[in-house]
């Protein structure tokens, strides 16, 4: 389908195929993706918060849940997305993920929506949450909860609740329960995409107007886009100098809007991955330059001090938008 060949009625039919936030993603792929903050206007009226679970069409309701795989994990197939969570009993997020209509692989390495580095009190807790023992259970409503218990070295409980909100939407509600004071607490949430996702961009503040900024090599090998000056100060408090694998970030721009948005696009397959979170939950987006070998996008969650006994929840959504179907003949 030539994107310039759709008439008004045909375009309306295509848009209706993508409920809720998928409309924005569909239009963005249809229009050809991001260029720069100065060149492309932001979508009109972006949502203030990540999408809540919305009623699915009756034909797909039965597919919006996880099934046990008998190996300590769970699998799912919504008809649009297929994959696993906590595969093999490991503390990773969504792995072996595919876009069903195109057959394209979506993830690699440690998967999508995987808690990685955790910081508080001027220290880093081990290498990453994916190295910690965890237990996954299916909740009565079909969600899967991954539970990391507190230890003497980790004075907090983590719970990650994965939900198949729509056939193309996965939501993660990440909850922390502090067992002691946690100053500057952060969970660095990682998503490792298949190498077909060669374009990485964010919605950020520009000099003249807000817009989309590509993570091109000239902006640095490892780029971080903070919410504001306070968020940048937190990111530069020394936590990223801690071993293993310290990172020297560049800071090309600040994020824009009440809803934080980061993207990975696979132009050859017509796929767009959109990560979003409320600005109160996410204080920075990080990415290597877009063709660096990790093909990853990270969200820095929480970014505040929690008192002993306090709970906090951060919600992140992942939306996968596929290519438009050919126009009806």
Would you say residue 9 has pLDDT above 50?
no
Out of 2-6, 133-137, 193-197, least confident range: 2-6
- Residue pLDDT, tens place only, 229-259: 999 999 999 999 999 999 999 999 999 999 9
Would you say residue 188 has pLDDT above 80?
yes
Token pair belonging to 30:
């249809």
User: 156, 150 in Cβ contact below 8 A?
Assistant: yes
Whole-number average pLDDT of the chain: 85
- What is the distance between the alpha carbons of residues 170 and 51, in angstroms, rounded to a whole number? 10
Sheet with 114-120: strands ordered across: 123-124, 114-120, 182-192, 296-306, 282-288, 222-226
**What local confidence, expressed as pLDDT, does residue 62 receive?**
67
| Upstream peptide bond of 38 is cis (omega within 30 degrees of 0) | no
Would you say residue 104 has pLDDT above 70?
yes
**What local confidence, expressed as pLDDT, does residue 7 receive?**
40
Helix (H, G, I), strand (E, B) or coil at 180: coil
Query: Which domains does the chain show, CATH number per domain?
Result: 34-42+66-321 (2.70.98)
**What local confidence, expressed as pLDDT, does residue 323 receive?**
85
């Amino acid at each position: 389908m030539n994107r310039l060949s759709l008439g008004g009625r045909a375009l309306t039919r295509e848009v209706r195929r993508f409920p809720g936030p998928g409309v924005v993603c569909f239009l963005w792929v249809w229009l050809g993706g991001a260029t720069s903050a100065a060149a492309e206007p932001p979508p009109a009226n972006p949502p203030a918060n990540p999408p809540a679970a919305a009623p699915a069409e009756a034909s797909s309701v039965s597919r919006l849940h996880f099934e046990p795989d008998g190996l300590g994990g769970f699998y799912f197939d919504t008809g649009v997305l297929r994959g696993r969570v906590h595969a093999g009993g490991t503390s990773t997020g969504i792995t072996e993920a595919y876009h069903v209509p195109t057959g394209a692989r979506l993830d690699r390495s440690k998967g999508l929506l995987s808690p990685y580095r955790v910081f508080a009190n001027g220290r880093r807790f081990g290498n990453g949450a994916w190295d910690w023992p965890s237990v996954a259970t299916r909740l009565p409503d079909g969600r899967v909860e991954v539970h990391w218990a507190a230890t003497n070295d980790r004075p907090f409980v983590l719970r990650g609740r994965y939900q198949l909100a729509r056939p193309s939407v996965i939501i993660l509600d990440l909850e922390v329960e502090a067992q002691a004071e946690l100053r500057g607490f952060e969970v660095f949430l990682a998503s490792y995409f298949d190498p077909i996702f060669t374009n990485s961009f964010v919605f950020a503040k520009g000099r003249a107007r807000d817009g989309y900024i590509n993570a091109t090599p000239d902006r640095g090998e490892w780029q971080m886009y903070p919410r504001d000056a306070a968020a940048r100060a937190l990111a530069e408090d020394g936590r990223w100098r801690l071993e293993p694998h310290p990172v020297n970030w560049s800071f090309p721009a600040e994020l824009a809007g009440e809803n934080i948005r980061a993207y990975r696009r696979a132009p050859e397959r017509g796929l767009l991955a959109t990560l979003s979170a409320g600005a109160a939950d996410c204080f920075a987006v990080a990415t290597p330059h877009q063709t660096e070998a990790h093909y990853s996008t990270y969200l820095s969650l929480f970014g505040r001090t929690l008192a002993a006994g306090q709970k906090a929840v951060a919600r992140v959504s992942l939306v996968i938008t596929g290519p438009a179907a050919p126009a009806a003949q």
